[in-house]
C-alpha cells in the first residue's frame, strides 16, 4: 500500500508547539520539527517501507501504528481511498492557494451554536468588555452637513426602508409569481455581452468578470401551485426543474434553526468556483464571489419586501446535506454559500416606512 503527504495541510506555531491542520478533512494535530523535516522528504507516492526508512522505524508493528496515526490525522493519505481522491481533486482543481482554501473549507459543515448559548456568551463578554459602538456619529460638529430624504418621493427607497428580517411567519402559501420575481431579480439573465473569449451573461447584480458563479436551488414548502420539493432555477430560461422530493425537516439544512420549518420556501445560492477561477487565478477572486452572494441576496430581499414577504438570510448551512439534495457533484469546486428563506409575516405586511421614521 502506498502513501503520500496530503496536499491540504497547513501548519502554525502556538505557545512554542507546532500544530497542523488538514483543512479538507478538518483534522488537527500536534507534531514536532523532526516530523516536519521527514515529511519534506516524502515526495509523491511512497511505500510503507520507504516511510519507515525516512522516519528511521525498524519494527514492523511500530511502523503500522505510526503510519496509521499519520493517516488518521490527515497527514498522510493512502492510495485508492476516498481521502486520496479528494486530495487529488483539490490539487488538480483549486487555483486560489492555501490561505483562501483554509477560509473556505474550514467553515464547511461546522456544528452551529444555539442562539441562547450565543447570547449567554455575549452577556458574559459584555461584563468584561463593553461592545463597540455600532454606528459612528458626527455629534455637535459645526461642519456637519445635514442631508434631506423623502421616502414617499422614491418608491425604491421606500421598499428598502421597509425591508426587515421577520422569522415569525404565517402558514399562508406565498404566490408563485412572488417567488418567480425573487428568483429573477437575483439570478435572471437580462442580456449578454462578450469579450475575446466568448459571450457572457448579464444579470441585475454585478458579477466579477461577468462570470456568473452562482446557481439557485429552491426548496419549496408552501408555494401556491408548486409541489413541495427541491428545484433548480435556470437563470437563462427562467424556469424550474425538479431535482429532489420533499424535505421533512428543512431546519436540518441550516444548522437546526427551527424557524425555517415554517417558511414557504428557501432559496440556496450555490457557488461554482470553476467559472470565476477559469479567468482569475488571483485568490482575491474568492472574496469577489462571496461579495456577489450579498448582491444577489439583497435583490431577493427587496423583491420579497415589494411583495409584502419577508426574506430571512442565513449563512449557517449544513453544506454536505444541501449539496446532496441539490445534486452538486464536485465538493471542491461547488458549494452552497448562502440561503434566503421566504414567508409571509404572521402579523400582516411589513412596516410602512416614511422619512418621519428615520
pLDDT per residue over 156-201, tens digit each? 999 999 999 999 999 999 999 999 999 999 999 999 999 998 999 9
pLDDT at 353 over 60: no
Q: Which CATH number fits domain 2-93: 1.20.1070, 1.10.1240, 3.90.930, 3.40.50?
A: 3.90.930
Per cent of the chain over pLDDT 90 is 90
Domain with CATH 3.90.930 in the chain: 2-93
Q: What is the pLDDT of residue 58?
A: 83
DSSP summary character for residue 223:
B
Residue 245 has pLDDT above 90, yes or no: yes
Confidence of residue 358 (pLDDT cuts 50, 70, 90): low
Question: Read out DSSP for 30-99?
Answer: EE-HHHHHHHTT--SSEEHHHHHHHHT---HHHHHHHHHHHHHHTSEEETTSHHHHHHHHHHHH--SHHH
Q: How many helices (H) and strands (E) does the chain have?
A: 11, 14
Q: What pLDDT sits at residue 141?
A: 97
Q: Do 232 and 240 touch, CB atoms closer than 8 A?
A: yes
* Angle, CA of 23, 269 and 280, to the nearest 5°: 65
Cell of 290: 462571496
pLDDT the model gives residue 174: 97
pLDDT band at 352 (very low <50, low <70, confident <90, very high): low
Q: Is the pLDDT of residue 210 over 90?
A: yes
Q: Classify residue 223 by burial, with Cβ atoms within 10 Å: 0-12, 13-18, 19+.
A: buried
pLDDT digits (tens, 9 = 90+) for 65-77: 999 999 999 999 9
CA within 13 Å, CB half, 285: 24
Tell me what the pLDDT averaged over the chain comes to: 94
Q: What is the pTM of this model?
A: 0.92
What is the model's pLDDT at position 357?
56
Backbone angles phi, psi at 245, to 5 degrees: -85, -160
**pLDDT of res. 93:** 97
The answer to whether the Cα torsion of 238, 279, 22, 89 is positive or negative is positive
Q: What percent of the chain has a predicted confidence (pLDDT) above 70? A: 97
Predicted confidence (pLDDT) at residue 213 exceeds the cutoff of 60: yes
**Of 270, 295, 285, residue with least CA distance to 97:** 285
* pLDDT surpassing 80 at residue 351: no
* Residue 312: Cβ-neighbour burial (10 angstroms; 0-12, 13-18, 19+): buried
Q: Report the run of H or E that residue 282 belongs to, with start and end.
A: none
| Helix or strand holding residue 246 (H, E) | none
Q: What is the pLDDT of residue 99?
A: 94
Is 36 within 8 Å of 18 (Cβ atoms)? Answer: yes
Better pLDDT: 1 or 344: 344
The model's confidence at residue 59, banded by pLDDT at 50, 70 and 90, is confident
Domain with CATH 3.40.109.10 in the chain: 151-343
pLDDT at 355: 55
CA atoms within 13 A on the CB side of 143: 2
56 torsion bin: left (phi>0), alpha (psi -120 to 50), beta (else)? left
Query: 320, 333, 285, 337: which is closest to 93 by C-alpha?
Result: 333
What tens digit of pLDDT does each residue of 81-92 get?
999 999 999 999
Pairing of strands 239-244, 229-234: antiparallel
Neighbours of 285 (CB within 10 A): 21
Question: Contact at 8 Å (CB) between 217 and 243?
Answer: yes
The cell for 91 is 490539487
Which DSSP string do the residues of 153-191 spell out, in sequence order? G-HHHHHHHH------B-SPPBPHHHHHHHHHHHH-EEE
Residue 223's alpha-carbon distances to 196, 230, 248, in angstroms, are 42, 12, 16
d(CA 179, CA 266): 10
The sheet carrying 334-343 orders its strands as: 239-244, 229-234, 214-220, 265-272, 334-343, 310-314
Q: Is the pLDDT of residue 349 over 70?
A: no
- Three-state DSSP state, 275: helix
Cβ contact 292:213 at 8 Å: yes
262-318 pLDDT per residue, tens:
999 999 999 999 999 999 999 999 999 999 999 999 999 999 999 999 999 999 999
CATH node for 151-343: 3.40.109.10
Going by pLDDT thresholds of 50, 70 and 90, the confidence category of residue 62 is confident
Amino acid at each position: 500500500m502506498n502513501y503520500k503527504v496530503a496536499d491540504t495541510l497547513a501548519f502554525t506555531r502556538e505557545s512554542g508547539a507546532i500544530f497542523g491542520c488538514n483543512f479538507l478533512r478538518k483534522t488537527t494535530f500536534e507534531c514536532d520539527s523532526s516530523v516536519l523535516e521527514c515529511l519534506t522528504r516524502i515526495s509523491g507516492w511512497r511505500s510503507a517501507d520507504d516511510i519507515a526508512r525516512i522516519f528511521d522505524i525498524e519494527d514492523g508493528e511500530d511502523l503500522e501504528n505510526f503510519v496509521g496515526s499519520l493517516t488518521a490525522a490527515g497527514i498522510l493519505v493512502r492510495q485508492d481511498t476516498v481521502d486520496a481522491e479528494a486530495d487529488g481533486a483539490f490539487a488538480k482543481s483549486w487555483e486560489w492557494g492555501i490561505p483562501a482554501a483554509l477560509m473556505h473549507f474550514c467553515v464547511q459543515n461546522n456544528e452551529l451554536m444555539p442562539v441562547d448559548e450565543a447570547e449567554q456568551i455575549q452577556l458574559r463578554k459584555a461584563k468584561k468588555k463593553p461592545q463597540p459602538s455600532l454606528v459612528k456619529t458626527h455629534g455637535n460638529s459645526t461642519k456637519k452637513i445635514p442631508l434631506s430624504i423623502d421616502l414617499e418621493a422614491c418608491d425604491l427607497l421606500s421598499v428598502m426602508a421597509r425591508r426587515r428580517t421577520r422569522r415569525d411567519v404565517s402558514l399562508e402559501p406565498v404566490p408563485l409569481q412572488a417567488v418567480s420575481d425573487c428568483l429573477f431579480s437575483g439570478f435572471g439573465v437580462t442580456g449578454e455581452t462578450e469579450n475575446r473569449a466568448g459571450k457572457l451573461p448579464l444579470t441585475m447584480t454585478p458579477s466579477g468578470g461577468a462570470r456568473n458563479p452562482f446557481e439557485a436551488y429552491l426548496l419549496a414548502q408552501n408555494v401556491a401551485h408548486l409541489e413541495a420539493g427541491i428545484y433548480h432555477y435556470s437563470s437563462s430560461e427562467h424556469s424550474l426543474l425538479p431535482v429532489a422530493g420533499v424535505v421533512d425537516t428543512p431546519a436540518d439544512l441550516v444548522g437546526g434553526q427551527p424557524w425555517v420549518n415554517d417558511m414557504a420556501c428557501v432559496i440556496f445560492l450555490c457557488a461554482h468556483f470553476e467559472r470565476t477561477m477559469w479567468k482569475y487565478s488571483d485568490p482575491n477572486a474568492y472574496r469577489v464571489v462571496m461579495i456577489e452572494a450579498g448582491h444577489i441576496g439583497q435583490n431577493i430581499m427587496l423583491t420579497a419586501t415589494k411583495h409584502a414577504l419577508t426574506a430571512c438570510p442565513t449563512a449557517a448551512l449544513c453544506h454536505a446535506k444541501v449539496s446532496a439534495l441539490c445534486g452538486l457533484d464536485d465538493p471542491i469546486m461547488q458549494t452552497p454559500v448562502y440561503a434566503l428563506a421566504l414567508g409571509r409575516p404572521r402579523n400582516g405586511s411589513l412596516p410602512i416606512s416614511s422619512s418621519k421614521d428615520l
